[in-house]
Amino acid sequence: SGVGFATRKMAGVAKPNVTISINGDVITIKSESTFKNTEISFKLGEEFDETTADDRKTKNVITLENGSLKQVQKWECKE
């Protein structure tokens, strides 16, 4: 499983347009490219589910640390 060679090559040259918006305490990050569009919405410090670009089902927590967003992502007992 995982991402195939051609898919990795295409994704490597894609230049995504990333938009971050805040509505109350919900942050939404949209990434759009010719290859794939993704969108996640979350509250800082709260766990949420995400299906990644390579179709993994993950549990995530995003925090704000020293002015930067930090994401911890877990799947199949990996971090």
The span from the CA of 25 to the CA of 2, in Å, is 33
pLDDT at 37: 85
Distance CA 21, CA 75 (A): 26
pLDDT at 56 (0 to 100)? 86
Name the token pair of 35.
């290859």
Which two three-digit tokens encode residue 8? 């990795």
Per-residue pLDDT in tens (0 to 9) along the chain, 79 residues: 566 666 666 666 668 899 999 999 999 999 998 777 889 999 999 999 998 877 889 999 999 999 999 999 999 867 6
Q: What is the pLDDT of residue 36?
A: 78
Query: CA distances (Å), 60 to each of 5, 10, 79, in order?
Result: 26, 26, 10
Question: Domains, the chain, ranges and CATH?
Answer: 5-74 (2.40.128.20)
pLDDT at 20: 96
Q: Given the structure tokens 């991402």, which residue do they identify? A: 3
